[in-house]
Structure 1
Amino acid sequence: MKKLLLIAFTMVAAVLVLAACGANKADNSNTSGSTGVEETGTAASAKITIKAKRYEFDQPVYTIKKGVPTEITLKSEDGMHGVEVSDLKLKLDSDEPKVVTINDAGEYEFHCDIMCGSGHSKMVAKLVVE
């Protein structure tokens, strides 16, 4: 009886671990028609670089064109920083460019999504899509 209970518990634990891994992968997807962002896999027509350093981004506002494939690169100049545009479900990692096409015009606030120190909460800027 104990052996059967141990096997059942092990199987339930394995299912939960696999489900958690699968859910995390799905949550990190950056391709979504409902958010107006597409990772096209095509060559970029435009490029922007967001530089992060000492609890701030190098510009308060970055502007890109609606519907234009744009390569966005995050350069972390003093350690680990990341960028999350919550409204677009878009995440950027340092030195890993992404080519995205944003189809919805508007202003989107973004923030550093890696706890980088005491000034972390002040690391915000805007992405304007015209």
Structure 2
Amino acid sequence: MAEGQELLKITATSAGYKFDQAEYRVKAGTNYKIKFSNKLGVHGAAIQAANLDLTQENPEADYTFPESDKGKTIEIHCSIMCGQGHSTMKSTIVVE
């Protein structure tokens, strides 16, 4: 990771079409190395507000949450039709 960069790990779990956390917290203005992984199955993590779609083939990205996002809650959802639980596979990023 680059100096001053922080890590944000997002993991799709094998239990019940969920991400490993219901909520992730980040700091506005901080650059993050976002890393996505799957425990089981084929999933993706789309963060539309950041124009990111992380998958097994494209599992990481660098992103700085802008100061203008401070106080916002950003949705993460599964971007791959993974089964019956796909529509409820969501989490959020809270920008502090």
TM range (shorter): 0.7 to 0.9
Name the TM-score, length of structure 2 as normaliser: 0.83
TM-score with structure 1 setting the length: 0.63
Match among 24, 29, 45 for residue 62 of structure 1: 24
Amino acid at match of 1:57: F
Count of matched residue positions in the alignment of Structure 1 and Structure 2: 89
Are 1:125 and 2:91 counterparts? yes
Shift of 1:87: 2.7
Higher relative helix content: 1
Task: Find 2:45's aligned residue among 73, 83, 86.
Answer: 83
Separation of aligned partners in 2, 1:125 and 1:107: 10
- Structure-2 separation of matches of 1:88 and 1:99: 10
Equivalent residue of 2:82, what SS?
A: coil
Letter in 2 for 1:112: C
Corresponding position of 2:65: 102
Q: 2:36 pairs with 65, 74, 86, which one? A: 74
2:59 is paired with a residue of what secondary structure? coil
**Which one has a larger percent strand, Structure 1 or Structure 2?**
2
SS at match of 1:121: helix
Q: Structure 2 unaligned runs (5+)?
A: none
Q: Which AA in structure 1 matches 2:11?
A: K
- Residue by residue over 1:38-81, the C-alpha shift from the partner in whole angstroms, topping out at 9 and shown as x without a partner, is xxxx8262101111023100110001111111011111110211
**Counterpart in 2 of 1:33?**
none
Residue 96 of structure 1 aligns to which amino acid in structure 2? Answer: P
Written as runs of structure 1 = structure 2, the 5 A alignment for 1:44-55 is 45-54=5-14, 55=17
Counterpart residue type for residue 102 of structure 1: F
Q: Note the residue ranges of structure 1 that are not aligned, 5 or more in a row.
A: 1-41
